[in-house]
Amino acid sequence: MKKNIYYSLLMSSIITVAAAEETRQVDKHEHGVGELNIAVESSAINLEFMIPGADITGFEYEAKSDSDIALVNAALSKFENFQNIFILPDSSNCDLVDAEIGINQEDDHDEHDEHDDHDEHDDHDEHDEHDEHDEHEDESHNEFVAHYSFSCRNVKEIDRIDFPYFTTFPSSGELEIQFVSEAGSTSFEVEGDEPFIDLKGKI
């Protein structure tokens, strides 16, 4: 029973990555708050980051100028080396087996034709559903999405995860972390002054 629940959580996190662009509403995020889902299953650990562009590059419009594109590419390449983002204990002997890094870009003027399923009756009605947002006209949002999967020889040795993320990206705010393993689920809020989580007894 418990295991079934766990599996469905894991599956939904995988599906979220695959279909993030379709299902996640990027403009619902909060600047200064990155989200991280961590799932441990038998010898595997998966980490999925969803971080507002405001916390990474400082902007969320689609990069078009050479300097903005360079900033985005520099950020993506930092994510590509996961040790810039987080550190697992050496004793857990975890090997990276899969990683997927990208940006979900949402723009007010949707120039992409990827969303044929949508009924786009009126692109110019900008005043629906956004009453609680800061009132920037022409506001767009994006998120950096990074998913890492590891296979570990000693997964139970993961008693702590450190987050150099906070120093790698000086504009970062906090990380809201949802952690799930066969031992149960926990949430954490982590900030740069104590950039780690304690997982003793949680795996």
Give the integer Cα–Cα distance in Å for 52 and 35.
Answer: 9
Site for Zn ion contains 145 (CB under 5 A): no
Smallest distance from Zn ion to CB 93, Å: 38
In the chain, count of helices (H) and strands (E)?
5, 8
Tell me whether residue 58 or residue 164 sits nearer to Zn ion (CB atom).
Answer: 58
Tell me whether residue 34 or residue 197 sits nearer to Zn ion (CB atom).
Answer: 34
Smallest distance from Zn ion to CB 29, Å: 6
List for the chain the helix, strand, coil content (%; round to 5): 30, 30, 40
Closest residue by Cα to residue 156 from 111, 201, 193, 119: 201
Closest residue by Cα to residue 169 from 16, 24, 49, 37: 49
Site for Zn ion contains 60 (CB under 5 A): yes
Name residues contacting Zn ion, limited to 24-53 (CB under 5 A). Answer: 52
Smallest distance from Zn ion to CB 41, Å: 31
38 within 8 A of 178, measured Cβ to Cβ: yes
Interacting stretch for Zn ion, rule CB under 5 A, among 38-46, 71-79, 118-126, 134-142? 134-142
Residue with tokens 């692109």: 123
Q: What single DSSP character describes residue 87?
A: B
Site for Zn ion contains 106 (CB under 5 A): no
Smallest distance from Zn ion to CB 85, Å: 20
Interacting stretch for Zn ion, rule CB under 5 A, among 8-16, 133-141, 154-162, 176-184? 133-141
Smallest distance from Zn ion to CB 33, Å: 10
Where does residue 45 rank: exposed (0-12), middle (13-18), buried (19+ CB within 10 A)? buried
Amino acid in position 124:
H
Tell me whether residue 75 or residue 94 sits nearer to Zn ion (CB atom).
Answer: 75
Site for Zn ion contains 55 (CB under 5 A): no
Q: What single DSSP character describes residue 151?
A: E
Site for Zn ion contains 141 (CB under 5 A): yes
Tell me whether residue 78 or residue 141 sits nearer to Zn ion (CB atom).
Answer: 141
- Which residue's beta carbon is nearest to the bound Zn ion? 141
Smallest distance from Zn ion to CB 183, Å: 34
- Calculate the dihedral angle through the C-alpha atoms of 68, 69, 75, 80, rounding to the nearest 10 degrees: 180
Chain contacts with Zn ion (rule: CB under 5 A): 52, 60, 141
